[in-house]
Chains A and B, each alone.
Chain A
Amino acid sequence: MLKNKLRLKYIKLKGFRSFKDEVKVDLDYDVIVFYGGVGAGKTSILEAIEYALYGTTYEVAEIKGIRVDDLVNDFSDELSVTLCLTDGRHEYLIERRKRKGVRGSLKIFIDGQEKYRGVAAESFIKELIGGLTYYDFSRFILVRKPILENIVAHRPSERTKALDRLFGLTILEELSRSKAYKVLENRLFEVENRLRELESKVKIAEDINRYITKIKELEEKIQELKEEKEKLKQKQKKLTTLIKELDKKAIELEHIRADKIACQLNLDELKRQLEREYFISEVKIQDILRILESIKDRITLSLAELLKGELLTQVESIEISEETIEDAINTLEKIMLDIREDISEEEYSIHMLERRRAELKLRYERVKAECEQLLDEYMRLEEAKREYDEIRKRYGDYSQITKNIENLQMKLRVLERRRDISEALLKVLESVKEELGERGKMACPVCDSQLSIEDVKKVRRKIEQIRSGRISGISEYENIKARLRELEEVRERMLSLKRRLARYDEVKDILDELKKEADEKLKEIIDLEETISNKKQALEAIKRTIQDVKVMLEKARRLYEVYSMRKKIEYLQHKLYELEEKEKEYEPIIKEKVQVLGELKYIESRLSSIDKEILSLEKEINEIRRLISEAKTASKEYAILKVKYDAIKDLYERVMQIRELFRRIQPEVRERLLSKMITELNKVFRKIYPYGDYIELKISIEPSGRIRIVGVYEIYAKRSIDGSLVPIVSRLSDGQKIIVALSLILTVSKISKHKLNILMLDEPAPNIDLSCRRALIKMLSSSPDMGQILIATQSEEYKEIVSEELSRRGLKGVVYRVYWTREGSKVEVERYVK
């Protein structure tokens, strides 16, 4: 290990690219090979180192659309990369974390102690790796396959571009083409335009007195217009007062004209109406008065009975004269209307009487029917009464019959008892007779005396006696029973009749009342019919009278109307004449009003035009003032801008000079670099190329085609056989060319100021054969100051090559197998080489 050079110890990565779970990779070896299939995560490990050091990767920095967030594993929210380095004295731990959508964090630990964070940590890394920029790192530390191929590409332009990139000279091309200078150009253009805009305003400021004079002139003109406006306003006031008076008179005239028209119309209408009454030649007021007097008399005489007191008084109080003729007609017409109402009332009362008559008739019929019905019942009751009286006559009163029944019932009970005793006695005697007949003697069952056979005769007699008495008793009993039955039936019948006869008096009373009512109703009906007949006759007479009066009143009215119309026509003709005279008086006023109105209109239009003129002049003044104000401001701004413009132009010219220089010095810088590195390049080349066919390299800049000004690189190899220089692109094999390219990269890395002593190769020379690969590893491991070499490859052959070459030179190496699983990429040791 070289003094002060850094060496990788290990790296831990989690959630980075294809690595989901945390993976720790030990890097403390001279040669580290990451072997695995496509997409296994080999390159991701190399990029993790790049990310740990710079917080970015080649893809993020160079390809548009790829962001740091895209480095986070698709199934993780956060990535973390921890890189451990050592310089032999201390151990440095760089820890970067990044959450999607959130700014990343950076921490530096030195010998296990946290020392720096954020910006300070970034500065520390820069210092730690000896100022090695990301640009440098991508040039000669992490070497991707295209870089190697392009350095020895056949096309001169590609080759030149790759070499310029390796030497760090593309910066000159980029700087000469940078768009950053646009800010100066734009600002200069802005200021230039603004100055041009201001120039016209500045001219106004120079000629300011002329504008001030113009303002004064305009102000004087405004003053003149205001004075004229004042005079016109005074005149307008006077004329307005005059026009108000004229307006009043005009309104009066309008009224006169309206009256005239109305008068004329009335006159025409009256004349037309009069024409219709052409047959009434002459009307005398005395005729009308006579008719009215006659009407009054007729009403007073003929309708006195009908008219109510008040109405009659009204008729009598009517005054009939020439002056009151219209009132008299109106009053009579009104009275006629009242009389018609009275007639209607009378007709109604007759109607009501007829209705009453109908009701009475109906009631009478009903009473009559009820009478007939009751009469039948009464007849039946009369018959029952006769029967009842006969029964009483024959059997006595109800109580007497009841008493007789009770006596007979008692007699029957005595006879029944007597019969029972006889029966019992007969039985006793029969038994005594039998016993005596059998035994000849016995004790009397009644008195216990001794009876003998001689007593049998007595017993037989006695039995005979009892039997004959019993026969006569039965006959009596039957008679009494028959008599009792008869009496009970009679009593029953009597009770029934008595019950029926209870309604007898009631029916008799009702019948009497109904008969009385029927007689009354009949009488009332006859009276009503007479009344109705009388009323109807009277009403007919009144109606005839009213009809006559009506005709007379109409005639009087018509005569009076004609009389009135003629009077009115005379009046209207007179009025019309008067109105025409008045109208003639007003005609000059109208002419005067028209004249005044014309004058007023002129004043108004003039006032309006004065206002507009004043407004326009004021606007003009304001515009001039605004221009003057703007010109003053513009003058100030112009003065400042002019100085600014000169300063910016000076700056712009300087920067343009620099820009041009960046483009121009490219060949000179190339020459300087080549001269500085050629000796070192040949040293490296001879060290890593152990064959003797080519012993030296030479790089020259030659003019070529379109890029003749800056030229193209041509790499030559000196052939040992004849000492001639041959172009490597056409003469050397692919493997040899890769060795030349690597020699160049190693040389640049070696002579550049930095402390990161590592080389990372991503898929170096995949198209070369086994011997070339062997030569490559041999070359890399043969250099004692090479530091650490990291190779990411798909080729299995490297495993063997690395083992053989390292063990031969006593170097430490490791082969890691990188593979993909569903839980993300994994790394495991395939082989250690000691």
Chain B
Amino acid sequence: MFRVEEEILRVIKKHIKDEKTYNIAREILMRYLSGKDKSVRDYLLKLLKEVEKVAEEQVKA
């Protein structure tokens, strides 16, 4: 018994050693499966916000 997304993730894992990048790839895949482009875009926007917030805090510190 298998799921195609699990197979894809296994292959991705093989190619991406960096865990952070792998997590992003997994999230993109899962989000695309649940809601296509819109969900991926929302996720990327969320990531952007997080990244920018971290950068601001870094400068303030």
Q: How many residues of B contact A (CB 8 A)?
A: 38
A669 and B55: CB pair below 8 A?
Answer: no
Bound complex: CA A180 to CA B4 (Å): 22
Contact, CB under 8 Å: A658 / B32: no
From the candidates B20, B37, B48, name the one contacting A184 in the complex (CB within 8 A). Answer: B48
Question: In the complex, A167→B56 CA distance in Å?
Answer: 44
| CA distance in complex: A676, B8 (Å) | 13
Judge whether A665 is part of the interface by a CB distance below 8 angstroms. Answer: yes
Task: Assess whether B2 is in contact with A751, with CB atoms less than 8 Å apart.
Answer: yes
The reply to whether B4 and A168 form a contact with Cβ atoms under 8 Å apart is: yes
- Cβ < 8 Å to A, chain B residues 30-49: 32-34, 36-38, 40-41, 44-45, 47-48
- A651 to B46 CA separation, bound complex (whole angstroms): 12
In the assembly, what is the distance between CA of A640 and CA of B54, in Å? 10
Indicate if A181 sits at the interface (CB-CB under 8 A).
Answer: yes
Main secondary structure of the interface of A (DSSP, over half): helix
> B2 is contacted by which of A640, A664, A753 (Cβ under 8 Å)?
A753
Chain B minimum-CB-distance residue to A651: B51
**In the bound complex, how far is the Cα of B52 from the Cα of A337, in angstroms?**
115
- The docked-state distance in angstroms from the alpha carbon of A167 to that of B36 is 17
Q: Is A502 an interface residue (CB 8 A)?
A: no
Q: Are A644's CB and B56's CB within 8 A?
A: yes
Give per-residue flags for A666-705: 1 if the beta carbon is below 8 A from chain B beta carbons, else 0. Answer: 0011001100100000000000000000000000000000
Known contacts A665-B11, A669-B11, A178 near B32 by CB under 8 Å: yes
For residue A668, which residues in chain B have a CB less than 8 angstroms away from its CB? 11
Separation in Å of the A194 CB from the closest CB of chain B? 12
Q: How far is the CA of A169 from the CA of B3 in the complex (A)?
A: 11
Q: In the complex, are the beta carbons of A643 and B33 less than 8 A apart?
A: no
Known contacts A647-B51, A665-B15, A668-B11; decide if A655 and B37 are in contact (CB<8 Å): no
Q: Which residues of chain A come closer than 8 Å to B45, judged between CB atoms?
A: 183
Question: Which residues in B have their C-beta under 8 angstroms from that of A672?
Answer: 7, 10-11
Report the separation of the CA atoms of residues A126 and B3 in the bound assembly, to the nearest whole angstrom: 15
- Measured CA separation A616–B27 after assembly (Å): 60
- Is there an interface contact between B32 and A661, defined as CB atoms closer than 8 Å? no
A171 touches B33 (CB 8 A): yes
B8 to A643, Cβ gap below 8 A?
no
**Chain A residues in 8 Å Cβ range of B36:** 174
Residues of A within 8 A of B8 (CB): 171-172, 665, 669
Contact A183 to B37, CB < 8 A, known contacts A658-B24, A752-B3: no
- When chains A and B are docked, how far (Å) is the Cα of A179 from the Cα of B16? 22
B20 near A669: Cβ-Cβ < 8 Å: no
Known contacts A179-B37, A752-B3, A753-B2, A644 near B52 by CB under 8 Å: yes
Interface: A408 (CB within 8 A) = no
Residue of B nearest to A174 (CB): B32
Residues of chain A in range 153-174 having any CB-CB distance to chain B below 8 Å? 167-169, 171-172, 174
The distance from the CB of B18 to the nearest CB of chain A, in whole angstroms, is 8
Known: A172-B8, A751-B2. 15 other contacts (CB 8 A): A171-B8, A171-B29, A171-B33, A179-B41, A181-B44, A184-B44, A640-B56, A655-B28, A658-B21, A661-B12, A665-B11, A669-B11, A672-B10, A753-B2, A753-B3
